[in-house]
Amino acid sequence: MEIVNVTNLIKEFPLSRGLTDILSRKRKTMRVLDNVSFSVLEGETLGLVGESGSGKTTLARILLGLIKPTSGKVMFKGEDIFNLRRLNKLEVHAVFQDPDSSLNPMMQVKDIIAEPLFNTKMSKKDVDENVIEILSKVGLTKEIATRYPFELSGGQKQRVAIARALIKKPKFIVLDEPTSALDVSIQAQLLNLLIELQGEFGLTYFFISHNMNVISYISDRIAVIYAGQLVELGTVDELISNPLHPYTKLLWACVPRPDPETKISVKDFGEVPSLINPPPGCRFHPRCPYAMEICKSISPTLEKLNNIHLVACHLFSRR
Amino acid sequence: MQNTRSIISINELEVVYNTIYGQVRALNRVSLSVAQGEVYGLVGESGCGKSTLGLSISSLLPTPPARINSGKIFFKDFPITDLSDDELMKIRGTGIFMIFQSPLNSLNPVFRVGDQIAEAIQVRIQRENKHFNLQEVYNYGPIENQGFKSAWNESLKKSRKGLRNWKNSEVISEVLSTLESVRISDPERVANSYPHELSGGMRQRVMIAMALSLRPEFLIADEPTSALDVTTQAQILNNMKSLVEKYSTSILFITHDLAVAANISNRVGVMYAGSIVEEASVYNLFKEPLHPYTVGLLKSFPQGNKRTNKLFSIKGEVPNLASLPPGCPFAPRCSQAKPKCYNDRPQLIEVERNRKVACFLYE
Amino acid sequence: MSVTTFVLRRLFMSIFVLLGVTTLTFIISRVVVPNPARAWIGPKPNPDLLKALMKKYHFDEPLYMQYFYYVIGLFTGDWGVDPYSSIPILTEIRMYFPVTIELTILSSLISILLGIPLGILSATHRGKTWDNAVRLSYLISTSVPIFIVALVLLLLLGYWLKIFPVSGQLSLNVARPPTITGLIMVDALLTGNLNAFIDNLYHMILPSFTLALSSFGIITRLVRSSMIEVLEMEYTKTAKVKGLNKNKIFYKHCLRNALIPTVTIFALLTAYFLGGSLFIENIFSLPGMGRYTTQALLMFNIPAVMGTTFLFALIIIVMNFIADVLYALLDPRIALE
């Protein structure tokens, strides 16, 4: 069953204009998300992978209702999230990359975690009980409750952020690079914790990362985003064993493995295009070794190849 | 792979920081050596002292608060720990060069990228001049010897004359060809750009181009790819490999990413809480790790999928260097710790040829 | 965005700020003295005279018309007439302004020459004796009020040690050179009167030194902190590890970056100097804008007060504009925003 359904999402940001643009009344925008459609199934982890500047975080912020899309719809359990009243929106929660900027340094841990309950009519005693319970769920001791964020390590801070996301018992959690700032040993602890919590609370994750190893470990399905466009989407096994889009192939080939026998063998990489002036047609075509004439003019759409695999590439288009 | 001559060797280096919490020992009697043309991968988690080690070698440690307590660093058998800034200048650049993690801050924001590379080329040319012989200078032995300074000044004077003969256009064309060699497709535009006009990956490539134009004998790369995307990272790694192939530069590659270390290194050292706990060839270290910390790190690296492989996680957290336990610093997190581990500190000893580990399990 | 666009944009903005200033000065002057004509004429006014005055200065018309006349006047060179002396305000300003220009230029020169090297010295010797001495000096400089500094220096160097003259622009036995630019030093040089040049400089040293003493601390503190920041930046480390020599690292790579923020405070300092001239010119009996403004304020000389306020605002806006342009030229990141 679908819990979140995104259709034809477009997000444009205005750019500052030069004198000539103002005089000629030209509007300049940067299309950060271009016609993105996908859905998240209940109970799954959908991984979103892409390079910096590809629109990952913008997508996360739209799903959280923090910014409005230029056009397109985001449906949460069949309802448009931008039509809902504010309270209901809180069913979606988030954990961000940098706990230092997402946790208020002037607040104690227990107040940080209890903050989402602020507007509910819960008694103080119930709130405290809830906080203690959720603390133990994320593997923190009771003593942490009265500390301030600066007294915690990076891993502990991220656990606090997870606890805050969980306190209202949401069904859907957006995780934006939750482990990127952490060391490998701490990252493993956190990934295990996230998997455990998912089983226990029946959570659905939207997991964003630029780290291919983490994404392919934690996800059930993976979506690949390039320059604001979804280029491929499929189950983990399918996408890893049978990547179709040339960009996905390039990404996979560039991922280093902790194994001295498999070295990166790619020779030509190219550059991520600027979103201010993206190439026409398929945004990947200047870097694509298989680019055809049609790729330079017509942007391919995400098409279903079979039940578990979608790809946006003219090589696999049935038209 | 093992060359007889080591470019850098570090002997029992101990570095302390004076902080408000008291003295913190960032490096605890660390010894290592890097041979010519070798890439030594130094792996460790944040706060283990790996960056301090890099800064110590390039003599860029902020002193105070940092201080080298004991130990020596040798550059081609020449001690560099006690050199003054003026003397260090002669070794830096063509001898030792360093690339930092943040590609935004490592280039000067107010100068064009091309000028900054040209500067590096001029440094090299000045020293490459036939009158100028680095070896000749070192042959004078330790710096107490008055001969060192005068020999240096003498050869510098001669080489300045050489610099004047270099036409500017030659430097410019070298700037462009170096940028091209790091696979920048429009070198003219990049050379005429200011750093902020370039992407992070581009800036880091410029830093590699700078290294290529200096042709240093020893390059310290402190997390050069950590802020970059995978495709850019792969490209930077390729560029660094070509540096080794072309000029047989030795590299100390500092990283927290095991996979990156596996990809570029010949030899790998694993650091934990200010000490090297294991050192082996890249093959041995990844195929049969010995130290429980290395084993744990490798097992906690996400591989495969959650359905098939449960990640191992080392319990606990990285210790605070200000309050290290007396015994093995890893003991509190180690699943195989014995009572002895909590009291005595294991030394880094050679258990096989070219294979060292600091753990009582292998004594 | 190119540098030209940036400059044009800033220029455009400056015009709006200027218009805002005219509105403010106008409103404030009318709030303080609703009918200036009555104030000039005394407690028992002759109704006919009052009417004539009000007509002459448009005080009988609605406020927005008065504002309109005021703004038109500002841009056509009619800044009003001094009601006491019947001399046009602009002519009076032309008489008084040169002294203030001399004072401001001399004091900024002294405070730059004092402030920047001290800041650099302090940053490069961080935590050592030199640094502590400099930090103490700028603490004193920024915390002691300017009139205290003026009085102490006046007593010490003027009355007791008698090293410097205590008032005036020229000694009694030195003739004032013919007015060309109004700046005595420049006029003296233009007419080849070296004696007058030296005498004027000698008279100006104590006032400008006072003004500089109480302002160099701002520069020193800023230069120190930005220099410390730059010295710890990774590009400084890159420059070092590239094998460049000390001078190149310091003068080429560090100094320019460290001085960029300093440029921005010159506009601020100009404001400070103009404010300071109010004290200095009164204490040292210099016939400058500061003295002129004080007298105008005390006599409810509204046209003069409005004229000087507008002039000061104009100078500060121009200085801000120059600082912005300099900033954009020095730091390539700025124009891009």
Q: Where are the domains of chain A?
A: 2-91+170-311
Indicate yes or no: CB of C336 within 8 angstroms of CB of B197.
yes
The pLDDT value recorded for residue A91 is 67
Domains of chain C are 37-78 (no CATH), 90-336 (1.10.3720.10)
> What kind and span of H or E run contains C64?
helix C63-76
Indicate yes or no: CB of C241 within 8 angstroms of CB of B89.
no
Q: Tell me the residue ranges of DSSP E strands in B169-227.
A: 218-222
Please tell me if residue A307 touches chain C, with a CB cutoff of 8 Å: no
The pLDDT value recorded for residue B149 is 45
Coil, helix or strand for B277?
Answer: strand
Among B231, B283, B311, whose Cβ lies nearest the Cβ of A269? B231
Indicate yes or no: CB of C243 within 8 angstroms of CB of B123.
yes
Residue B297: closest C-alpha in chain A: A185
- The tens digit of pLDDT for each residue in A245-275 reads 999 988 888 888 888 887 777 766 677 777 7
Coil, helix or strand for A126?
Answer: helix
Neighbours of A151 (CB within 10 A): 12
Residue A20: closest C-alpha in chain C: C5
Q: How confident is the model at residue A40 (pLDDT cuts 50, 70, 90)?
A: very high
Q: How confident is the model at residue A45 (pLDDT cuts 50, 70, 90)?
A: very high
Q: What are the residues of chain C with a beta carbon less than 8 Å away from any beta carbon of chain B?
A: 127, 232-235, 237-246, 248, 253, 256-257, 260, 330-333, 336
The pLDDT value recorded for residue C226 is 92
The pLDDT value recorded for residue C3 is 74
CA C244 from chain centre, in angstroms, equals: 40
A-chain residues near C13 (CB < 8 A): none
The pLDDT value recorded for residue A221 is 93
Low-confidence stretches of chain C (pLDDT beneath 70): 1, 39-40, 335-337
In total, chain C counts a number of residues equal to 337
Sheet holding B6-19, edge to edge: B22-35, B6-19, B66-75, B78-79
Q: Tell me the CATH architecture of domain B6-271.
A: 3-Layer(aba) Sandwich (3.40)
Please report, for residues C33, C47, C209, C220, the alpha-carbon distance to residue C136 in angstroms, rounded to integers and kept in the order given.
45, 62, 19, 11
Indicate yes or no: CB of B318 within 8 angstroms of CB of A153.
yes
Indicate yes or no: CB of A19 within 8 angstroms of CB of C337.
no
Shortest distance, CA C7 to any CA of chain A (angstroms): 11
The pLDDT value recorded for residue A84 is 60
Contact B104, B195 (CB under 8 A): yes
Token pair recorded at residue B256: 């927290």
Shortest distance, CA C335 to any CA of chain A (angstroms): 11
The pLDDT value recorded for residue A168 is 81
Q: Which residues of B51-86 are buried (b: 16+ CB within 10 A; e: fewer)?
A: bbbbbbbbbbbeeeebebeebebbbbebebbebeee
Single pTM value for the model: 0.82
**B278/B265 Cα distance (integer angstroms):** 15
Shortest distance, CA B141 to any CA of chain C (angstroms): 21
What is the amino acid identity at position A44? E
Tell the CATH topology of A2-91+170-311.
Answer: Rossmann fold (3.40.50)
**B142/A192 Cα distance (integer angstroms):** 55
Res A176 pLDDT > 80: yes
From the candidates A15, A17, A19, which should be mutated to test the interface with C, based on the most C CB atoms within 10 A?
Answer: A19
The pLDDT value recorded for residue C85 is 82
The pLDDT value recorded for residue A17 is 65
From the candidates A259, A262, A276, which should be mutated to test the interface with B, based on the most B CB atoms within 10 A?
Answer: A259
Res A36 pLDDT > 60: yes
C-chain residues near B106 (CB < 8 A): 234-235, 237-238
Q: Which chains touch B (3 or more CB pairs under 8 A)?
A: A, C
Indicate yes or no: CB of B194 within 8 angstroms of CB of C332.
yes
Low-confidence stretches of chain B (pLDDT beneath 70): 1-4, 129-169
Beta bridge partners of B42: B254, B269
The pLDDT value recorded for residue C222 is 92
Please tell me if residue B48 touches chain A, with a CB cutoff of 8 Å: no
Indicate yes or no: CB of A16 within 8 angstroms of CB of C337.
yes
The pLDDT value recorded for residue B132 is 46
**B344/C111 Cα distance (integer angstroms):** 62
Indicate yes or no: CB of A260 within 8 angstroms of CB of B300.
no
From the candidates B67, B106, B163, which should be mutated to test the interface with C, based on the most C CB atoms within 10 A?
Answer: B106
Maximum separation of any 2 CA atoms in chain A, in Å: 67
Range with the poorest average pLDDT among A17-26, A70-79, C98-107: A17-26
The pLDDT value recorded for residue B46 is 82
Contact C215, C272 (CB under 8 A): yes
Indicate yes or no: CB of C8 within 8 angstroms of CB of A16.
no
Indicate yes or no: CB of A19 within 8 angstroms of CB of C8.
yes
The pLDDT value recorded for residue B43 is 92
Shortest distance, CA A52 to any CA of chain B (angstroms): 7
Shortest distance, CA C6 to any CA of chain A (angstroms): 9
Coil, helix or strand for B35?
Answer: strand
The residues in B 121-160 lying below 8 A from C, measured between CB atoms, are 123, 127
B-chain residues near C127 (CB < 8 A): 64
Averaged confidence pLDDT in chain A: 84
The Cβ-side half-sphere exposure at B323, using a 13 Å CA radius, reads: 2
The pLDDT value recorded for residue C335 is 62
C-chain residues near A16 (CB < 8 A): 1, 337
Residue A54: closest C-alpha in chain B: B229
- The tens digit of pLDDT for each residue in A82-136 reads 776 654 555 677 788 777 788 888 888 888 888 887 777 777 888 888 888 888 8
Residues 6+ apart with CB under 8 A from C274: C100, C104, C289, C290, C312, C315, C316
**A205/A202 Cα distance (integer angstroms):** 10
Q: Which chains touch C (3 or more CB pairs under 8 A)?
A: A, B
C-chain residues near A19 (CB < 8 A): 5, 8-9
Token pair recorded at residue A236: 């983990």
Shortest distance, CA B207 to any CA of chain A (angstroms): 17
Q: How confident is the model at residue A21 (pLDDT cuts 50, 70, 90)?
A: low
Indicate yes or no: CB of B110 within 8 angstroms of CB of C332.
yes
Please tell me if residue B214 touches chain C, with a CB cutoff of 8 Å: yes
**B266/B38 Cα distance (integer angstroms):** 6
ipTM field = 0.83
The pLDDT value recorded for residue B253 is 94
Residues A164-183: what's their mean pLDDT?
A: 85
Q: How confident is the model at residue A318 (pLDDT cuts 50, 70, 90)?
A: low
Please report, for residues A174, A225, A268, A278, B300, the alpha-carbon distance to residue A285 in angstroms, rounded to integers and kept in the order given.
31, 14, 14, 11, 37
B-chain residues near C250 (CB < 8 A): none
Res A47 pLDDT > 90: yes
Contact A234, A46 (CB under 8 A): no
